[in-house]
Copies of this chain bind each other. A is one copy, B any other.
Amino acid sequence: MIATASPVTDLADRIRAGSHVSLARGLTLVESRSGVATELLAEIWKDSGRAHVVGVTGPAGSGKSTLVTQMGHEYVERGAKVAILAVDPSSAYSGGAILGDRIRMTELAGRENVFIRSMASRGATGGLSRAVLDGIVLLDAAGYDVVILETVGVGQSEVDVISVAHSVLVVSVPGLGDDIQAIKAGLIEIADIHVVNKADRPGADLTVKQLRESIRLAHRQGGDWNVPILKTTAATGDGVAELLDETAKHRGWMTEHGALREVERRNAATRIRWAAEAIIAERLRPGHRDFDVAVDALIARDEEPRQAAARLLTAMAVNPTRINGRRPL
């Protein structure tokens, strides 16, 4: 029971070894944005970078949760380890309620090689995006081959969150004509695969047709990937296998055309900026000698704010060990 390594290293080891309890603890640290989370991420970063991150989004009532559950089962059948991160940016407004519709997931959650977690916004949307991005690193390093990122609702926050995924699946449903309009507003541009769920309902073919037209009109970025429109009936599992095939195909295309690397570059850029902001926030505050000196120089009008900031960044660089210094758990 005597710790031979640091607590953070221990936690990282246990996450790598597949402990669900440690992984859950790590995700809680990431959500709370504690300093320990930064250390944990630094420790575990080199073990990440293998998982396929699949985003699933769409309006309420489209049956996303059921679809994601079925996808989870199918991935397990195919021998993959699968993690589901259900993100609810709006729960800050609804009072932090956990996602409904979780009951169906209980069975899936009980299976081996499955990990399910809800993540809610505890403040700014930016904070949630960061927690999601960090959470993916932990799940990835824990050996999950696929991380399904499910968002609830359709809005800018959802677009921000989902855009960290390698493959974005947008779910529509027949008979919600106006919702397809809503989707046009922002999701057509980011969809890699369209799913018309509840395809046993009347109007499924019309929805497919409307989506095809929307895709044609949209100026989609991302090269010559031919965005497919798939029909599924999540309740019965119909079309889910084909959806997984198509998702795998998309990943292959992404890798081949350098598009996967582009997503990774974008995510890496975001991570570096956030890390830099964290360093700044940590070092540029009263009580740090260099900072206090700069404050005095500013008041004396010996320097202007931008000059002082530039000088402080220099001073920080002279002391890189202090920047990388570890704190105890």
Q: Spell out A's residues near B (CB within 8 Å).
A: 38, 41-42, 45-46, 48-49, 261, 264-265, 268-269, 271-281, 284-286, 291, 294-296, 298-299, 301, 304-318, 320, 323-324
The A interface, classified by DSSP as helix, strand, loop or mixed, is: helix
Say yes or no: B265 contacts A304, CB within 8 Å: no
Please, which residues of chain B bring their CB within 8 A of the CB of A277?
277, 280
Say yes or no: B45 contacts A279, CB within 8 Å: no
How many copies the complex holds: the figure is 2
Say yes or no: A298 contacts B271, CB within 8 Å: yes
CB distance from A229 to the nearest CB of B (A): 32
CB distance from A261 to the nearest CB of B (A): 7
Q: A313-B313, A313-B323 are in contact. Are A306 and B49 (CB under 8 A)?
A: no
9 A-B residue contacts at CB 8 Å?
Answer: A41-B305, A41-B306, A264-B299, A265-B295, A272-B305, A272-B312, A273-B280, A279-B306, A280-B280
Please, which residues of chain B bring their CB within 8 A of the CB of A306?
38, 41-42, 275, 278-279, 323-324
Q: A310-B323, A310-B324, A323-B310 are in contact. Are A276 and B272 (CB under 8 A)?
A: no
Give Cα A286–Cα B269 distance, bound, in whole angstroms.
8
Say yes or no: B320 contacts A314, CB within 8 Å: yes
Please, which residues of chain B bring their CB within 8 A of the CB of A295?
265, 268-269, 272
Please, which residues of chain B bring their CB within 8 A of the CB of A305?
41-42, 45, 268, 271-272, 274-275
Give Cα A38–Cα B274 distance, bound, in whole angstroms.
23
CB distance from A193 to the nearest CB of B (A): 24
Say yes or no: A308 contacts B272, CB within 8 Å: yes
CB distance from A140 to the nearest CB of B (A): 11
